[in-house]
A = this chain, B = another copy of it.
Amino acid sequence: MRQSQLFTKTRREAPADEVSKNAQLLIRAGFVYKEMAGVYAFLPLGLRVLENIKNIVREEMNAAGGQELIMTALQRKELWEKTDRWSDEKVDVWFKSTLSAGGDVGFAWSHEEPISDMMKGYLESYRDLPVYVYQFQTKLRNELRAKSGVLRGREFVMKDLYSYTTDAAQHKEIYEAMIQAYQNVYRRIGLGDITFLTFASGGAFTQFSHEFQTVSDVGEDIIYIDTEKRIAVNKEVYTDEVLAHIGLEKEKLIEAKSIEVGNIFDFGGSKSEQLGLMFKDETGALKPVYLGSYGLGITRVMATIAEVMSDDKGLVWPEGVSPFRYHLVSLAGADETLRARADQLYDTLTEAGISVLYDDREQRAGEKFADSDLIGIPFRIVVGKNSTDTSFEVVTRSSGETRTMSKDELLQHS
C-alpha cells in the first residue's frame, strides 16, 4: 500500500485521557481510534494486525478439529435465567435493553449459554460427539473502569471455542490438544518466550483451570514461573500444597506480573444439565454433555504485543502479525531516477505477493524514519542516494541492525 493513500497519519500526542501505553502507541501510530473509554475502532493498519492474529488462531483451531461459526450479540433473558446468569447481582457486566416488540434483551458478554442451547438441536447420541466449535466474536462488557487501553475494553474481539464431549476422558484429549494449539499460537504471534501455561483456580468440577499468562509490568495478575519447565502458578492458588501437587519447587520460581492472554475451563456436565443438553450413551442412558470452554482475546493479544514489544521509538511488530512485511521508505525527493527505482521495487515485491507499506510521501527523511519507527514494521528498506538498482539498505526494527540486500534476497522473505 502507498502511504500517501493511507488516510491515517501518525501523531505526536495521544489523547490526554489515554493513560495506557498500548493505546497511546496504537493511537499515535494510527492503528486504533478511541471512540470512548474502553471502546476502540480498528483502522486499516490495526485491522491488518487483527486479521493476521485471527488467521493464525483460525489455523490452529481448525487443525485441532474446530468448526467456525458466529453466534449473535443479542441474547434471550429466559436462556440466561436457566443458568442463573441473567441478574446483575450474578453478572455485573451485562448491557441490557428492551425490545420495541416488548421484553428484555441482553448483549452478549459471553456465549457458553447460547451456543450450548443451540447444540440441543444437533447433539443426540454419543455418535455425534466430540464436537468443537468456535467463533471470533465482539463481546460487550459493561466494565465499571476502563483504564487499560485495548488490553481490557468494554468492546473487544475474542476467540471462544467450546468442546462437547461424552465424558472426562474424551474431554481430556481436546483439553490437551488445546493447550498445544494455544502454545502454537503464542509462538507464532511472537509471544512464545514470555507466555506461560499457568495453573489457576478451578471451579466446582476441577481443582484447577489453566491460563496463559504473558509477563508484563502492566499485568493485573501475579504468577510464579518455573522457567525450566515453562509453567507457572497464579498467586490465587500459590500454596505449598498446590506446588507439591504440580511438582514445583518454591525456590526455583520467579515472581512476575502478567497479562492473562488466554484461559481454558472445564465445566463438566453442570451447564449442560441446567440447559438440558443431554446425549444418549452406548447403553441408551441420557447423560449431560461434557463442556469445555477456551478463550483467547484477539484484541488483548494485539494490545499485549504493543505493550511488551515496543520501545521508546514506537511499536515493534513480530513478523507473524505485522501489518506489512516491509516498510519501503523512499528518500527520492525530486530525484526521478531514485523515485523510479523505489516504484519498481514496490511493484516487484507486491506482484510477488509480499506485503509492503510504501512511504512515497514528500516528507523529510527524519520525519519518515520517525514515522517508520513508530509504526514498527519488521524490516525497513531505504531507497536513497546509497542504494543502487541491485542493492538496498535494510534495517531490522527490533535490533536496529542494518544490512545490504539484493532484490532476490528481499523476494526470498529473509
Residues of chain A touching chain B, judged by Cβ–Cβ distance below 8 Å, are: 5-9, 11, 33, 35-37, 39-44, 46-47, 50, 65, 67-76, 92-93, 95-97, 99-101, 105, 107, 114, 118-119, 121-123, 128, 131, 133, 138, 140, 142-146, 154-155
- The 7 A-B pairs at the shortest CB distance, nearest first, are namely A7-B131, A95-B97, A100-B144, A35-B72, A41-B71, A39-B74, A100-B142
* From A33, A140, A143, residue with most partner B Cβ within 10 Å: A33
Chain B residues positioned under 8 Å from A121 (CB to CB)? 11, 33
* Shortest distance from the beta carbon of A117 to any chain B beta carbon, whole Å: 9
Nearest B residue to A146 via CB reads B101
B92 touches A7 (CB 8 A): no
B92 touches A39 (CB 8 A): no
| A35–B108 CA distance with the chains assembled, in angstroms | 12
B67 touches A41 (CB 8 A): no
18 further A-B pairs in the complex, CB-CB below 8 A; given A35-B118, A74-B155: A5-B65, A33-B121, A35-B72, A36-B76, A36-B105, A41-B69, A41-B70, A42-B69, A44-B68, A44-B69, A47-B70, A72-B155, A73-B140, A92-B100, A93-B100, A95-B105, A96-B97, A100-B144
Q: Which of B8, B36, B67, B95 makes the CB contact (< 8 A) with A6?
A: B67
Nearest B residue to A48 via CB reads B68
A96-B97, A100-B144, A101-B145 known; A76 vs B5 contact (CB < 8 Å): no
A44-B68, A107-B97, A118-B41 known; A73 vs B138 contact (CB < 8 Å): yes
A76-B35, A118-B33, A145-B101 known; A70 vs B96 contact (CB < 8 Å): no
**Copy number of this protein in the oligomer?**
2
Chain B residues positioned under 8 Å from A8 (CB to CB)? 122
Q: Which of B47, B93, B131, B140 makes the CB contact (< 8 A) with A69?
A: B47
| A40–B71 CA distance with the chains assembled, in angstroms | 8
A97-B96, A138-B138 known; A72 vs B40 contact (CB < 8 Å): yes
Chain B residues positioned under 8 Å from A144 (CB to CB)? 100-101
* Shortest distance from the beta carbon of A96 to any chain B beta carbon, whole Å: 6
| A75–B41 CA distance with the chains assembled, in angstroms | 11
A7 touches B74 (CB 8 A): no
B68 touches A142 (CB 8 A): no
The 29 listed contacts between A and B (C-beta, < 8 Å) are: A7-B67, A7-B119, A7-B128, A7-B131, A33-B118, A35-B74, A35-B76, A35-B114, A36-B74, A36-B76, A41-B70, A41-B71, A43-B69, A44-B67, A44-B68, A47-B68, A72-B155, A73-B73, A73-B138, A74-B140, A74-B154, A92-B100, A93-B100, A95-B97, A96-B97, A99-B142, A100-B144, A101-B145, A101-B146
| A40–B69 CA distance with the chains assembled, in angstroms | 11
| A95–B74 CA distance with the chains assembled, in angstroms | 10
| A99–B8 CA distance with the chains assembled, in angstroms | 30
Nearest B residue to A131 via CB reads B7
Chain B residues positioned under 8 Å from A114 (CB to CB)? 35, 41
Chain B residues positioned under 8 Å from A155 (CB to CB)? 72-74
Chain B residues positioned under 8 Å from A6 (CB to CB)? 67
Chain B residues positioned under 8 Å from A70 (CB to CB)? 41-42, 47, 50
| A39–B44 CA distance with the chains assembled, in angstroms | 29
| A142–B143 CA distance with the chains assembled, in angstroms | 24
| A131–B36 CA distance with the chains assembled, in angstroms | 24
Chain B residues positioned under 8 Å from A99 (CB to CB)? 142, 154
Chain B residues positioned under 8 Å from A72 (CB to CB)? 35, 39-41, 155
* Shortest distance from the beta carbon of A113 to any chain B beta carbon, whole Å: 11
* From A35, A76, A142, A143, residue with most partner B Cβ within 10 Å: A35
